[in-house]
Each structure stands twice: as structure tokens, then as C-alpha cells.
Amino acid sequence: MAHSATSKSGSKPIAEHETETGSGENRLKRDVEEVSICKRLPKRWPVRVNDVYVNNKTNHQAQLNRCKKLLESGFNEILIHGLGAAVHRAINMALQLESDNPSLHLHVNTSSVRLKDDVVPLTDNGEFSTQTRINSAVHIKVYRLTADSETKPTT
């Protein structure tokens, strides 16, 4: 990611061809032309039938239809997960489900997920390394109350 103007700390300018990595005073400057950052896939929890992982690549309407189909097929709850840029899509999807069906309720949890990236040198004299970044995530339980459970489920 190229920065112009000033660094995140605001103290000194960064040229457009450099990036900052690390945290605090131990920030390293890397020349973008010397390294390539390969983002690893996030850790994926075991997928259950009623889990829906929302992303920005799949059609929103298709993901919404999948949620509706799960609820119509007899599931009393589904879990919608969104990571990073897909958080707003996950929230939007849950709110659409709730507005279409007033008997549905929502229970929202947020979290921060540590992601690792590989830093690959583009020159022969560079070193391979990894960097860690933190991304926001949302986990939304969409459920309907049954006659057996008239209280909110615990998470």
C-alpha cells in the first residue's frame, strides 16, 4: 500500500514508493519496488450447513437467497460471517432478512482477526518474511424464537 503525504504517526513524509510495516516506533520502511506482499487466506472455522461466509466477490442477491433458503428449509438459526470489507455486506444481509421476516431476531458479535501476509522479495538480495495485520470481523446470529426457547440464545 503506497502512502503519500505523511506517515501514520504524522511525523515525517513518506515517498510514494515506500510502505510502512510494523507498529509503534519499530516501523520499517520497504521499497514497494523491492518486495511483493502476498495476502494469506484467513483461518477458516469449520463450515456448518447453516454458516454463511459473506464476501464481496459473490453476488449479494445470491448470498441473500441462500440465507432465505436455509431459514425456509427448517433451520431455526443461521450464522452470517463477514471479514474486512465484507462486514457491511453481512450487516446489510442480516437487516434485510429481519425486515422481510419480523419473526427473526439478530444477535451480533464483533471481533478482530489477526491475518498474516508473506513479504516476498523481488530482488535476489532480499529476505522472505511475514507481517501481521488486524482486520475487523462480524458474526451475526439470525434466529427465530421457538416455543421451546423464549429467551435469547447464549453465545
List the grid coordinates of 41.
487466506
Between 71 and 41, the higher pLDDT residue: 71
pLDDT at 37: 86
pLDDT at 43: 79
For range 88-113, the mean pLDDT? 95
User: What global pTM score does this model have?
Assistant: 0.70
pLDDT of 61 over the 70 cut: yes
Q: Which residues of 95-125 are buried (b: 16+ CB within 10 A; e: fewer)?
A: eebeeeeeebeebeeeeeeebeeebeeeeee
pLDDT at 120: 86
pLDDT of 7 over the 60 cut: no
Q: Which of 4-8, 65-69, 112-116 has the lowest mean pLDDT?
A: 4-8
- Distances, alpha carbon 34 to alpha carbons 52, 119, 122, 124, in Å: 38, 10, 5, 10
pLDDT of 109 over the 90 cut: yes
pLDDT at 13: 38
pLDDT at 90: 97
Helix runs in 13-134, H state only: 60-72, 87-100
What is the residue-averaged pLDDT of the chain? 79
pLDDT of 15 over the 80 cut: no
pLDDT at 9: 42
pLDDT at 53: 93
